[in-house]
Amino acid sequence: MSYKLSQLAPLPQLKNVEIGSTIGHGGFGMVKSAVVKKNNTTKVIAVKFVHIQMAKQQNVSTDMLAREAFIQKECHHRNIIQLIDFGADKNWVWMAMELGDNGELFDKIEPDLGVDEDVAQFYFIQLINAVSFIHSKGVAHRDIKPENLVLDKNGNLKLTDFGLASVFKKRNGPKRLCTTACGSPPYLAPEVVTQSYDPEVSDLWSCAIVLFVLLTGKIAWEMPHEDDADFKHFIKNKGDVLIDPWNQIPIGALSLLRKILNPNPENRISMNEIKTQPWVAKKNRFINDSGMCKDPLQLTARLLVNLYINISDQEFNKVNQMATQASNVAAGSQPMLYLMDDMHRNTIYKENYQVLKGFSSSQEVYTEHSKRKKLKKEPSENELTFNLISKDPAALQFISGSSIKSRESKISDKMKQLQDQQSRYPELFAENFTRFFSIAPLDQLIITILEALNKLGYRNDSSDNDTVVNNLLDNDSTTGIVTIPIHGKDSSNNAFAGNIRVVKMSDNLNARKIEFNKIRSDPLEWRRVFKKVTILCRDVIYVEQLN
């Protein structure tokens, strides 16, 4: 079940703040980019809006939201997203915070592959630094997972979302145990669901699972419970697991994981012990003396080198053969409550928002919430289109190479070209990479997407494609946006939900970006969904050709 933003009370107007596009969705809120104009300076930030009544329906009170804001505001650290300000009116709670300029970390992780050991070590060290700091303040995060790890403009990790955080110790007072089970099942410690627990120790378990996913591109198990076959096998063998993907993990990292992932929290190694483990303490090529990235270009290239969408005949045939008609649709699943931003280039939008003016008048980058400028008809339309798409960082995932080194070199060269783009339009880089581009006629594009969704079982609309296409074309002529719901079961048989938005990039060009917006899904599983649909849509995808 979705609530449309246009049907709710207007968002609060914030002083000196101009609201931009939606960069994150949730069950009862959304995150938008925004521009702060003050003292002749401008700064791009993120603003989280939570609808109070929708939050209450999911047992989240305004007191809980206020506690989240107070805790995050006290946690000043270079690896934690800074909360700038917060407030509320009778309908909305808002939190203005630092923008994660490069979006979610795990949006850049290739499923089933993960990242290089150096990259994994770099991000684990930064995560440990952030968690160690909040623990020193008597705060446990209790929801450490991929969605809550974002990147700044230099590729540094930032911990965010303190909605489930708990103060377990006040100054010199005694440590308090927690009794509320919370967190994402694959990442929470086993004691969290069975007993009162030390949240400081359970946070360490979650950090270890994040490291496992970084190294392998897979979760270790669905839930740390004996009913889970993978977890049961891990416990039975006392962590000495020799099957895939455990046997692919470097020996130093594997030793560390076994020491942290001890099911008995009393036998789990401490934060101080983690920091002195050989794998953690060894020198990292990307980290400087302050614990931050010293080579952003090289780090980005190494991070993205595995993030590749192969649209070859072989991959197309592979996905096509494994796709089954509607067999994966979550037909019996309960409807999920979520808030959908449907406010685009229309009257409602103009009445409820100020137009985003924080970007240069010469801007060529697209955003559905800013006024699209008309591009001059010189040079040719094709040249303008290709130039526009080439400036989007999501195009990096389609760059091919004869080898890993070749692809890494091409990505590094491309990132050098995009440095100015990132400084001018940070909002674009904060968006997720689950998007592709097309210059195909809109009706052909929509038909291709619908056929791919039907084949994969990600759509259960009984309407025929022609009827759906006509309705969607009407939406495009009205708002400039086509939105296609998508839901089903992922590879772990868990329900996912989201939507695909087709957005025209400029008024007088036929180029469009096709965004896959996650509402509810594990980020790795969402990328798997995105890749399958994208590969089946290969005939309508524009891919930049590099020398």
Evaluate whether 105-296 and 313-334+379-540 have a shared fold.
Answer: no
Q: What is the pLDDT of residues 328-370, one digit of tens each?
A: 444 444 455 666 676 653 332 333 333 333 333 233 333 333 3
SS (H, E, C) 191-234: HHHCCCECHHHHHHHHHHHHHHHHHHCCCCCCCCCCCCHHHHHH
CA distances from 320 to 2, 110, 155, 530 (A): 31, 20, 35, 14
- Convert 252-271 to b/e letters by CB count within 10 Å (16 or more is b): ebbebbbbbbbbebeebbeb
Q: How many CA atoms lie within 13 A of 427 on its CB side?
A: 30
Q: What is the DSSP string of 341-402?
A: ----SSHHHHHHS-----S-TT-----TTSPPPPPPS-S-HHHHHHHHHHTSGGGGGG---S
CA dihedral 511, 343, 100, 357 (to 10 degrees): 80
Q: What is the rounded distance in angstroms from the CA atom of residue 89 to the CA atom of residue 103?
A: 28
Q: How many CA atoms lie within 13 A of 246 on its CB side?
A: 18
* Homologous superfamily assigned to 2-97: Phosphorylase Kinase; domain 1 (3.30.200.20)
User: Residue 2's pLDDT is what?
Assistant: 63
User: Residue 527's pLDDT is what?
Assistant: 96
User: Residue 222's pLDDT is what?
Assistant: 94
Which residues are CB-neighbours of 366 under 8 A, at least 6 positions away?
372, 388, 503, 504, 505, 506, 513
User: Residue 389's pLDDT is what?
Assistant: 84
Q: What is the pLDDT of residues 184-239, one digit of tens each?
A: 999 999 999 888 999 999 999 999 999 999 999 999 999 999 999 999 999 999 99
The pTM of this model reads 0.88
SS3 state of residue 7? helix
User: Residue 507's pLDDT is what?
Assistant: 74
CA angle, residues 116, 432, 519, in degrees to nearest 5: 115
Give the other-Cβ count within 10 Å of 351's Cβ.
Answer: 10
Residue by residue, pLDDT tens for the chain (547 residues) are 566 777 889 999 999 999 988 888 877 889 999 999 988 888 999 999 999 999 999 899 999 999 999 999 999 999 999 999 999 999 999 999 999 999 999 999 999 999 999 999 999 999 999 999 999 999 999 999 999 999 999 999 999 999 999 999 998 889 999 999 999 999 999 999 888 999 999 999 999 999 999 999 999 999 999 999 999 999 999 999 989 999 999 999 999 999 999 999 999 999 999 999 999 999 999 999 999 999 999 999 999 999 999 999 999 999 999 886 444 444 444 455 666 676 653 332 333 333 333 333 233 333 333 333 444 445 566 777 778 888 888 989 998 888 888 999 999 988 888 887 777 777 777 788 999 999 999 999 999 999 999 999 998 676 677 778 887 877 666 666 888 999 999 888 889 999 999 988 877 778 899 999 998 899 999 999 999 999 999 999 998 776 5
Q: Are the beta carbons of 201 and 512 closer than 8 angstroms?
A: no
User: Residue 418's pLDDT is what?
Assistant: 84
| Token reading at 161 | 């979302």
User: Residue 22's pLDDT is what?
Assistant: 86
- DSSP summary character for residue 190: G
Q: What is the rounded distance in angstroms from the CA atom of residue 28 to the CA atom of residue 255?
A: 40
Q: What is the DSSP string of 146-174?
A: GGGEEE-TTS-EEE---TT-EE---TTS-
| Token reading at 131 | 């968690």
- Residue positions annotated with a catalytic role: 143
Please tell me whether 108 is known to bind a ligand: no
CA neighbor of 188 nearest in space, from 156, 140, 127: 140
User: Residue 468's pLDDT is what?
Assistant: 81
User: Residue 478's pLDDT is what?
Assistant: 60
- Convert 507-525 to b/e letters by CB count within 10 Å (16 or more is b): eebbbbbbbbbbbbbbbbb
- Convert 402-434 to b/e letters by CB count within 10 Å (16 or more is b): eeeeebbebbbebbeebeebbebbbbbbbbbbb
**Under CATH, which number does the domain 313-334+379-540 receive?**
3.30.310.80
Q: Are the beta carbons of 119 and 156 closer than 8 angstroms?
A: no
| Token reading at 329 | 């649709």
User: Residue 491's pLDDT is what?
Assistant: 85
Which residues are CB-neighbours of 166 under 8 A, at least 6 positions away?
139, 140, 142, 178, 199
| Token reading at 154 | 């230099």
Return the CATH architecture of domain 105-296: Orthogonal Bundle (1.10)
Domain boundaries, the chain: 2-97, 105-296, 313-334+379-540
SS3 state of residue 500? strand
Q: Which residues pair with 45 in a beta bridge?
A: 34
SS3 state of residue 53? helix
Phi and psi dihedrals of 44, rounded to 5?
-90, 130
Tokens 């999501």 -> residue: 394
